[in-house]
Amino acid sequence: MPTPTVIQKGDTFFAPKGSYFEGNVRIDGNFVVPAHTHFWGKLLVTGTLELGPRSSVALDLNCWNAIIGSNSKVKGPIVAHGDVTILDHAVVHSIQARGKVILRRGVSVGDVTSDDTIIVHGKIKSGRLVGRNMKVLGN
């Protein structure tokens, strides 16, 4: 299966809808990924990653900032130099971030480490949460 063609506009790259990427992927810039897109290796994004709903990353995810869409799965650790937002019902192995981490309702995550604040919106399943500050909002 050929690797999908990624479209570039300025310093932002866009994946085609419903793509499958075999092997490791490196994007030098921001990366916008639509729903139902799957990465079967490691994903490295030097800018901000916006991973669409119901997408997946099979191994490690390294980026500057990350927004992980609802019902997505990241099977390896997320390492971010900035902020990480995990949207509703996503499943994530673990998070290590220098910025703040936002966890929305229904998220399932392993250990989370942040050099800043961890904000939890609603009920989640998690391992250890270690951050400079903790905020829990709602049930």
76-95 pLDDT per residue, tens: 999 999 999 999 999 999 99
Residue 2 confidence (pLDDT) above 60: no
Range of the domain at 97: 7-137
Provide the number of structural domains found in the chain: 1
Q: Residues 4-41: pLDDT tens digits? A: 889 999 999 999 988 999 999 999 999 999 999 999 99
The pLDDT, as a whole number, for residue 5 is: 85
Q: Is residue 20 included in any domain, yes or no?
A: yes
Q: How confident is the model at residue 129 (pLDDT cuts 50, 70, 90)?
A: very high
Mean pLDDT to the nearest integer, 103-109: 98
| Cα 82 to Cα 37: distance, rounded to the nearest angstrom | 23
Tell me if 49 is assigned to some domain.
yes
In the block, which residue shows the tokens 């921001």?
30
